[in-house]
Amino acid sequence: MSEFEVSDIDVDFEDEIIDEFDIAPARLTIDLGALADNWREMAKRSGKARTAAVVKADAYGLGLEDCGVAFYEAGARDFFVAVVQEGMTLRNYAPDARIYVLSGIWPGQEKLFFENDLVPVLVSEEQLAFWMSVTAEFGEHPCALHIDTGFNRLGIPLEDAIAFADDVSRPASFSPVLVLSHLHSGDTPSSELNRRQLESFQRVAAAFEGVPASLAASSGTFLGAEYHFDLTRPGIAVYGGEAVGGVKNPMRPVAKAEARIIQIRDARKGETVSYGGTTTLSRDSRLAIVSAGYADGYLRSLSGSGVPLRGAVPEGAFGFIAGHRVPVVGRVTMDLTIFDVTDVPASKIQAGDYVELFGPNMPLDEVARAGGTIGYELLTSLGLRYERRYIYPDD
Protein backbone atom coordinates (compact mmCIF):
# COMPACT_ATOMS: atom_id res chain seq x y z
CA MET A 1 0.00 0.00 0.00
CA SER A 2 1.28 3.49 -0.83
CA GLU A 3 2.58 5.66 1.96
CA PHE A 4 0.27 8.35 0.67
CA GLU A 5 -3.12 8.02 2.34
CA VAL A 6 -6.32 9.85 1.45
CA SER A 7 -6.64 10.68 5.13
CA ASP A 8 -3.42 12.70 4.86
CA ILE A 9 -5.26 15.37 2.82
CA ASP A 10 -6.67 18.18 4.90
CA VAL A 11 -9.68 19.52 3.00
CA ASP A 12 -12.22 21.99 4.34
CA PHE A 13 -14.95 22.99 1.90
CA GLU A 14 -17.20 24.84 4.33
CA ASP A 15 -15.88 28.36 3.81
CA GLU A 16 -14.67 27.98 0.25
CA ILE A 17 -16.54 30.01 -2.36
CA ILE A 18 -15.99 28.69 -5.86
CA ASP A 19 -16.93 30.58 -9.01
CA GLU A 20 -18.14 27.87 -11.38
CA PHE A 21 -17.07 29.95 -14.36
CA ASP A 22 -13.44 29.91 -13.23
CA ILE A 23 -13.29 26.11 -13.16
CA ALA A 24 -15.66 25.18 -15.97
CA PRO A 25 -14.45 22.73 -18.63
CA ALA A 26 -15.94 25.00 -21.31
CA ARG A 27 -17.18 28.53 -20.82
CA LEU A 28 -18.89 31.24 -22.76
CA THR A 29 -18.64 34.97 -22.12
CA ILE A 30 -21.41 37.16 -23.58
CA ASP A 31 -20.80 40.91 -23.65
CA LEU A 32 -24.26 42.46 -23.43
CA GLY A 33 -22.77 45.95 -23.69
CA ALA A 34 -21.31 45.04 -27.08
CA LEU A 35 -24.63 43.48 -28.05
CA ALA A 36 -26.50 46.69 -27.23
CA ASP A 37 -23.88 48.80 -29.03
CA ASN A 38 -24.24 46.63 -32.12
CA TRP A 39 -28.01 47.09 -32.08
CA ARG A 40 -27.57 50.86 -31.79
CA GLU A 41 -25.12 50.78 -34.70
CA MET A 42 -27.65 48.92 -36.84
CA ALA A 43 -30.34 51.38 -35.77
CA LYS A 44 -28.09 54.22 -36.91
CA ARG A 45 -27.48 52.50 -40.25
CA SER A 46 -31.23 51.99 -40.65
CA GLY A 47 -31.79 55.72 -41.02
CA LYS A 48 -35.44 56.67 -40.67
CA ALA A 49 -36.61 53.07 -40.35
CA ARG A 50 -37.35 51.52 -36.99
CA THR A 51 -34.97 48.74 -35.97
CA ALA A 52 -36.12 45.40 -34.60
CA ALA A 53 -34.10 42.74 -32.80
CA VAL A 54 -34.17 39.16 -34.05
CA VAL A 55 -33.89 36.79 -31.07
CA LYS A 56 -34.88 33.45 -32.58
CA ALA A 57 -32.92 30.27 -31.77
CA ASP A 58 -32.36 31.36 -28.16
CA ALA A 59 -30.97 34.70 -29.39
CA TYR A 60 -28.62 32.92 -31.79
CA GLY A 61 -27.47 30.62 -29.01
CA LEU A 62 -26.55 33.37 -26.54
CA GLY A 63 -29.65 33.37 -24.31
CA LEU A 64 -33.09 34.75 -25.13
CA GLU A 65 -33.79 36.19 -21.68
CA ASP A 66 -30.56 38.13 -21.13
CA CYS A 67 -30.17 39.25 -24.73
CA GLY A 68 -33.85 40.19 -24.93
CA VAL A 69 -33.49 42.45 -21.88
CA ALA A 70 -30.32 44.03 -23.31
CA PHE A 71 -32.08 44.85 -26.59
CA TYR A 72 -35.16 46.15 -24.81
CA GLU A 73 -33.10 48.41 -22.55
CA ALA A 74 -31.18 49.65 -25.59
CA GLY A 75 -34.48 50.79 -27.11
CA ALA A 76 -35.77 47.89 -29.23
CA ARG A 77 -39.56 47.66 -29.28
CA ASP A 78 -39.99 45.26 -32.20
CA PHE A 79 -38.76 41.68 -31.88
CA PHE A 80 -38.80 38.62 -34.13
CA VAL A 81 -38.83 35.02 -32.88
CA ALA A 82 -39.20 31.78 -34.81
CA VAL A 83 -41.84 29.92 -32.79
CA VAL A 84 -44.62 30.80 -30.39
CA GLN A 85 -42.84 29.37 -27.33
CA GLU A 86 -39.97 31.84 -27.86
CA GLY A 87 -42.49 34.66 -28.02
CA MET A 88 -44.13 33.58 -24.78
CA THR A 89 -40.77 33.59 -23.01
CA LEU A 90 -39.76 36.94 -24.44
CA ARG A 91 -43.03 38.58 -23.40
CA ASN A 92 -41.88 38.33 -19.76
CA TYR A 93 -38.86 40.51 -20.54
CA ALA A 94 -40.26 42.90 -23.14
CA PRO A 95 -43.68 43.81 -21.70
CA ASP A 96 -44.81 46.41 -24.21
CA ALA A 97 -42.88 45.29 -27.28
CA ARG A 98 -44.42 44.01 -30.50
CA ILE A 99 -43.31 40.41 -30.90
CA TYR A 100 -43.60 38.76 -34.33
CA VAL A 101 -43.61 34.96 -34.71
CA LEU A 102 -41.95 34.14 -38.02
CA SER A 103 -43.37 30.63 -38.45
CA GLY A 104 -46.94 31.90 -38.25
CA ILE A 105 -49.76 30.12 -36.49
CA TRP A 106 -51.28 26.63 -36.42
CA PRO A 107 -54.73 25.53 -35.25
CA GLY A 108 -54.71 25.16 -31.48
CA GLN A 109 -52.28 28.04 -30.90
CA GLU A 110 -54.87 30.83 -31.04
CA LYS A 111 -55.10 31.22 -27.26
CA LEU A 112 -51.31 31.49 -26.94
CA PHE A 113 -51.16 34.33 -29.47
CA PHE A 114 -54.05 36.26 -27.96
CA GLU A 115 -53.07 35.83 -24.31
CA ASN A 116 -49.42 36.76 -24.91
CA ASP A 117 -50.18 39.50 -27.45
CA LEU A 118 -48.04 37.90 -30.15
CA VAL A 119 -48.22 38.78 -33.84
CA PRO A 120 -48.30 35.82 -36.24
CA VAL A 121 -46.39 36.27 -39.48
CA LEU A 122 -48.68 34.52 -41.94
CA VAL A 123 -46.49 32.59 -44.37
CA SER A 124 -48.95 30.79 -46.65
CA GLU A 125 -52.40 31.07 -48.13
CA GLU A 126 -53.53 28.29 -45.76
CA GLN A 127 -52.39 30.28 -42.73
CA LEU A 128 -54.01 33.41 -44.13
CA ALA A 129 -57.36 31.66 -44.52
CA PHE A 130 -57.10 30.16 -41.04
CA TRP A 131 -56.25 33.51 -39.47
CA MET A 132 -59.23 35.21 -41.09
CA SER A 133 -61.48 32.55 -39.57
CA VAL A 134 -59.85 33.11 -36.16
CA THR A 135 -60.37 36.87 -36.22
CA ALA A 136 -63.92 36.43 -37.48
CA GLU A 137 -64.64 34.37 -34.37
CA PHE A 138 -62.51 36.06 -31.71
CA GLY A 139 -62.19 39.61 -32.99
CA GLU A 140 -59.47 41.80 -34.42
CA HIS A 141 -55.84 40.99 -33.59
CA PRO A 142 -52.69 42.21 -35.40
CA CYS A 143 -50.90 39.99 -37.89
CA ALA A 144 -48.10 40.32 -40.45
CA LEU A 145 -47.90 38.99 -44.01
CA HIS A 146 -44.78 37.33 -45.39
CA ILE A 147 -44.64 37.72 -49.18
CA ASP A 148 -42.35 35.56 -51.30
CA THR A 149 -40.36 37.79 -53.67
CA GLY A 150 -38.11 35.08 -55.07
CA PHE A 151 -36.68 33.12 -52.15
CA ASN A 152 -38.99 30.13 -52.66
CA ARG A 153 -38.91 29.35 -48.97
CA LEU A 154 -41.81 30.77 -46.93
CA GLY A 155 -44.30 33.37 -48.09
CA ILE A 156 -47.52 34.06 -49.93
CA PRO A 157 -46.90 34.17 -53.71
CA LEU A 158 -46.29 37.72 -54.93
CA GLU A 159 -49.19 38.03 -57.37
CA ASP A 160 -51.62 36.39 -54.95
CA ALA A 161 -50.62 38.84 -52.22
CA ILE A 162 -51.10 41.85 -54.49
CA ALA A 163 -54.50 40.52 -55.56
CA PHE A 164 -55.44 40.04 -51.92
CA ALA A 165 -54.46 43.64 -51.14
CA ASP A 166 -57.01 44.81 -53.71
CA ASP A 167 -59.74 42.39 -52.60
CA VAL A 168 -62.55 44.55 -51.27
CA SER A 169 -64.27 41.49 -49.79
CA ARG A 170 -61.56 40.76 -47.22
CA PRO A 171 -62.99 41.04 -43.69
CA ALA A 172 -62.66 44.27 -41.73
CA SER A 173 -61.30 42.27 -38.77
CA PHE A 174 -58.22 41.41 -40.83
CA SER A 175 -55.65 44.07 -39.90
CA PRO A 176 -52.03 43.47 -40.93
CA VAL A 177 -49.55 45.71 -39.11
CA LEU A 178 -46.60 44.69 -41.31
CA VAL A 179 -45.81 43.21 -44.71
CA LEU A 180 -42.39 41.68 -45.07
CA SER A 181 -40.14 39.67 -47.33
CA HIS A 182 -36.59 38.34 -47.11
CA LEU A 183 -33.55 38.77 -49.36
CA HIS A 184 -31.78 35.57 -50.34
CA SER A 185 -28.56 37.22 -51.56
CA GLY A 186 -28.25 40.27 -49.34
CA ASP A 187 -24.81 39.13 -48.16
CA THR A 188 -23.60 39.53 -51.76
CA PRO A 189 -24.10 43.24 -52.56
CA SER A 190 -23.09 42.79 -56.19
CA SER A 191 -25.88 40.27 -56.89
CA GLU A 192 -28.44 41.57 -59.38
CA LEU A 193 -31.02 39.40 -57.62
CA ASN A 194 -31.17 41.90 -54.76
CA ARG A 195 -32.46 44.58 -57.12
CA ARG A 196 -34.99 42.13 -58.58
CA GLN A 197 -36.35 41.32 -55.13
CA LEU A 198 -36.39 44.99 -54.18
CA GLU A 199 -38.51 45.87 -57.20
CA SER A 200 -40.93 43.04 -56.42
CA PHE A 201 -41.25 44.16 -52.82
CA GLN A 202 -41.81 47.76 -53.87
CA ARG A 203 -44.91 46.49 -55.69
CA VAL A 204 -46.04 44.79 -52.47
CA ALA A 205 -45.49 47.90 -50.36
CA ALA A 206 -47.45 49.99 -52.85
CA ALA A 207 -50.32 47.49 -52.91
CA PHE A 208 -50.55 47.54 -49.12
CA GLU A 209 -50.36 51.31 -48.90
CA GLY A 210 -50.44 52.53 -45.31
CA VAL A 211 -49.18 49.22 -43.89
CA PRO A 212 -45.54 49.34 -42.65
CA ALA A 213 -43.12 47.29 -44.75
CA SER A 214 -39.90 45.39 -43.97
CA LEU A 215 -37.40 43.78 -46.35
CA ALA A 216 -33.92 44.12 -44.82
CA ALA A 217 -32.36 41.80 -42.28
CA SER A 218 -28.70 42.37 -41.31
CA SER A 219 -27.20 42.18 -44.78
CA GLY A 220 -30.04 44.10 -46.40
CA THR A 221 -29.55 46.95 -43.96
CA PHE A 222 -26.03 47.42 -45.33
CA LEU A 223 -27.38 47.66 -48.90
CA GLY A 224 -28.67 51.18 -48.31
CA ALA A 225 -31.77 53.26 -47.67
CA GLU A 226 -33.78 51.85 -50.59
CA TYR A 227 -33.92 48.52 -48.79
CA HIS A 228 -34.87 49.86 -45.35
CA PHE A 229 -38.57 50.68 -45.84
CA ASP A 230 -40.23 51.12 -42.41
CA LEU A 231 -38.53 48.44 -40.30
CA THR A 232 -35.19 46.63 -40.46
CA ARG A 233 -34.63 43.22 -38.85
CA PRO A 234 -30.93 42.78 -37.93
CA GLY A 235 -29.92 39.40 -36.61
CA ILE A 236 -26.36 38.08 -37.02
CA ALA A 237 -24.84 41.57 -37.12
CA VAL A 238 -26.00 42.47 -33.62
CA TYR A 239 -24.43 39.25 -32.32
CA GLY A 240 -21.08 40.28 -33.78
CA GLY A 241 -21.10 38.13 -36.91
CA GLU A 242 -20.38 39.05 -40.50
CA ALA A 243 -23.46 40.12 -42.44
CA VAL A 244 -21.74 40.88 -45.76
CA GLY A 245 -19.05 38.79 -47.36
CA GLY A 246 -15.69 40.17 -48.44
CA VAL A 247 -15.68 43.34 -46.32
CA LYS A 248 -14.32 44.15 -42.88
CA ASN A 249 -16.86 43.39 -40.19
CA PRO A 250 -17.75 46.67 -38.43
CA MET A 251 -19.53 45.04 -35.48
CA ARG A 252 -18.11 44.42 -32.01
CA PRO A 253 -17.55 40.77 -31.00
CA VAL A 254 -20.14 39.65 -28.49
CA ALA A 255 -19.36 36.02 -27.61
CA LYS A 256 -16.12 34.36 -26.50
CA ALA A 257 -16.02 30.56 -26.24
CA GLU A 258 -13.17 28.94 -24.34
CA ALA A 259 -12.17 25.40 -23.38
CA ARG A 260 -9.90 24.35 -20.52
CA ILE A 261 -6.64 22.51 -21.10
CA ILE A 262 -6.86 19.13 -19.40
CA GLN A 263 -3.35 18.03 -20.26
CA ILE A 264 -0.24 19.21 -22.09
CA ARG A 265 1.72 16.30 -23.46
CA ASP A 266 4.95 15.87 -25.39
CA ALA A 267 4.86 13.93 -28.65
CA ARG A 268 7.72 13.00 -30.93
CA LYS A 269 8.28 13.63 -34.60
CA GLY A 270 6.70 10.84 -36.64
CA GLU A 271 3.98 10.04 -34.13
CA THR A 272 0.32 10.32 -35.07
CA VAL A 273 -2.47 12.30 -33.38
CA SER A 274 -6.18 11.62 -32.70
CA TYR A 275 -8.62 9.18 -34.33
CA GLY A 276 -7.42 7.51 -37.47
CA GLY A 277 -3.86 8.75 -37.03
CA THR A 278 -4.53 11.24 -39.83
CA THR A 279 -1.86 13.71 -38.64
CA THR A 280 1.77 12.67 -38.49
CA LEU A 281 3.91 15.13 -36.55
CA SER A 282 6.69 16.76 -38.56
CA ARG A 283 8.56 17.85 -35.41
CA ASP A 284 8.77 17.13 -31.72
CA SER A 285 5.64 18.82 -30.39
CA ARG A 286 3.72 19.91 -27.34
CA LEU A 287 0.00 19.20 -27.55
CA ALA A 288 -2.77 20.75 -25.45
CA ILE A 289 -5.86 18.60 -25.02
CA VAL A 290 -8.89 20.79 -24.25
CA SER A 291 -12.32 19.87 -22.96
CA ALA A 292 -14.57 20.77 -25.87
CA GLY A 293 -15.54 18.90 -29.00
CA TYR A 294 -18.34 18.51 -31.47
CA ALA A 295 -20.81 17.79 -28.64
CA ASP A 296 -20.15 21.42 -27.63
CA GLY A 297 -20.73 22.79 -31.11
CA TYR A 298 -17.02 22.85 -31.96
CA LEU A 299 -17.68 21.12 -35.25
CA ARG A 300 -15.86 18.02 -36.44
CA SER A 301 -15.30 19.78 -39.74
CA LEU A 302 -12.93 22.16 -37.89
CA SER A 303 -10.44 19.28 -37.60
CA GLY A 304 -6.88 19.80 -38.75
CA SER A 305 -6.99 16.59 -40.79
CA GLY A 306 -9.01 13.46 -41.43
CA VAL A 307 -12.26 15.07 -42.60
CA PRO A 308 -13.45 15.52 -46.21
CA LEU A 309 -13.42 19.33 -45.99
CA ARG A 310 -9.64 19.42 -45.70
CA GLY A 311 -9.50 18.41 -49.36
CA ALA A 312 -11.12 21.73 -50.28
CA VAL A 313 -9.95 23.97 -47.42
CA PRO A 314 -6.51 22.63 -46.47
CA GLU A 315 -6.18 24.43 -43.13
CA GLY A 316 -8.35 23.61 -40.13
CA ALA A 317 -9.30 25.87 -37.24
CA PHE A 318 -7.02 27.74 -34.87
CA GLY A 319 -7.43 28.64 -31.23
CA PHE A 320 -5.74 31.43 -29.29
CA ILE A 321 -3.76 31.37 -26.06
CA ALA A 322 -1.03 33.49 -24.49
CA GLY A 323 -0.81 35.74 -27.53
CA HIS A 324 -0.44 32.88 -30.02
CA ARG A 325 -2.66 31.32 -32.67
CA VAL A 326 -2.52 27.55 -32.20
CA PRO A 327 -3.77 25.05 -34.81
CA VAL A 328 -6.14 22.15 -34.25
CA VAL A 329 -4.26 18.88 -34.75
CA GLY A 330 -6.00 15.79 -36.05
CA ARG A 331 -9.71 15.16 -35.71
CA VAL A 332 -11.97 17.02 -33.33
CA THR A 333 -13.66 14.40 -31.14
CA MET A 334 -16.91 14.40 -29.17
CA ASP A 335 -15.57 15.95 -25.96
CA LEU A 336 -11.95 16.83 -26.73
CA THR A 337 -9.90 18.83 -29.21
CA ILE A 338 -6.11 18.83 -29.57
CA PHE A 339 -4.13 22.01 -30.27
CA ASP A 340 -0.45 22.26 -31.19
CA VAL A 341 1.08 24.65 -28.61
CA THR A 342 4.70 23.95 -29.49
CA ASP A 343 5.32 27.61 -30.36
CA VAL A 344 3.85 28.91 -27.11
CA PRO A 345 6.61 29.39 -24.49
CA ALA A 346 6.29 26.63 -21.89
CA SER A 347 6.38 29.22 -19.13
CA LYS A 348 3.25 30.90 -20.55
CA ILE A 349 0.89 27.92 -20.58
CA GLN A 350 -0.14 25.11 -18.26
CA ALA A 351 -2.92 22.62 -17.64
CA GLY A 352 -5.99 24.47 -16.39
CA ASP A 353 -5.51 27.44 -18.71
CA TYR A 354 -8.13 28.22 -21.36
CA VAL A 355 -7.84 28.20 -25.14
CA GLU A 356 -10.11 30.69 -26.95
CA LEU A 357 -12.13 28.80 -29.54
CA PHE A 358 -13.68 31.95 -30.98
CA GLY A 359 -13.98 35.49 -29.71
CA PRO A 360 -12.08 38.79 -29.87
CA ASN A 361 -8.80 37.11 -30.88
CA MET A 362 -10.27 34.37 -33.07
CA PRO A 363 -13.08 35.95 -35.12
CA LEU A 364 -16.25 33.88 -35.20
CA ASP A 365 -16.55 33.84 -38.98
CA GLU A 366 -12.88 32.99 -39.54
CA VAL A 367 -13.35 29.90 -37.40
CA ALA A 368 -16.62 29.10 -39.16
CA ARG A 369 -14.97 29.27 -42.59
CA ALA A 370 -12.34 26.77 -41.45
CA GLY A 371 -15.24 24.41 -40.78
CA GLY A 372 -16.92 25.09 -44.11
CA THR A 373 -19.82 26.93 -42.53
CA ILE A 374 -21.00 30.32 -41.27
CA GLY A 375 -20.97 32.11 -37.93
CA TYR A 376 -24.71 31.55 -37.56
CA GLU A 377 -24.19 27.79 -37.28
CA LEU A 378 -21.34 28.02 -34.78
CA LEU A 379 -23.35 30.26 -32.47
CA THR A 380 -26.58 28.29 -32.68
CA SER A 381 -24.73 24.97 -32.23
CA LEU A 382 -23.33 25.85 -28.81
CA GLY A 383 -24.02 22.96 -26.47
CA LEU A 384 -25.39 22.94 -22.95
CA ARG A 385 -22.04 22.36 -21.24
CA TYR A 386 -20.72 25.92 -21.47
CA GLU A 387 -20.75 27.78 -18.17
CA ARG A 388 -22.02 31.22 -19.10
CA ARG A 389 -21.04 34.64 -17.85
CA TYR A 390 -22.87 37.76 -18.95
CA ILE A 391 -21.05 41.09 -18.91
CA TYR A 392 -23.57 43.86 -18.40
CA PRO A 393 -23.11 47.39 -19.78
CA ASP A 394 -22.38 48.84 -16.34
CA ASP A 395 -19.83 46.15 -15.38
Question: Cα separation of 326 and 320, whole Å?
Answer: 6
Directed axis angle between helix 158-165 and helix 192-207, to 10°?
20
Question: Cα separation of 96 and 380, whole Å?
Answer: 27
Q: Write the CB contacts of 360 (distance below 8 Å, at least 6 apart in sequence).
A: 253, 256
Note whether 370 and 355 are within 8 A (CB).
no
Query: Is 56 one of the annotated active-site residues of the chain?
Result: yes
The secondary structure of the chain in percent helix, strand, coil, rounded to multiples of 5, reads: 35, 25, 45
Dump the DSSP string for 351-380.
Answer: TT-EEEEESSSS-HHHHHHHTTS-HHHHHH
Catalytic residue among 44, 56, 93, 100: 56
Is there a binding annotation on residue 1? Answer: no
Catalytic residue among 227, 239, 275, 392: 275
- Radius of gyration, CA atoms only, the chain: 25
Is there a binding annotation on residue 325? Answer: no
Query: Quick check: helix, strand or coil at residue 228?
Result: coil
Greatest distance between any 2 Cα atoms in the chain: 93
Q: Among 383, 299, 393, which Cα is nearest to 24's?
A: 383
Let me know if 207 is exposed, middle or buried by CB neighbors in 10 A (0-12, 13-18, 19+): middle
Active site residues: 56, 275
The binding site consists of 153, 334
> Which residue ranges are tagged as binding site for substrate?
153, 334
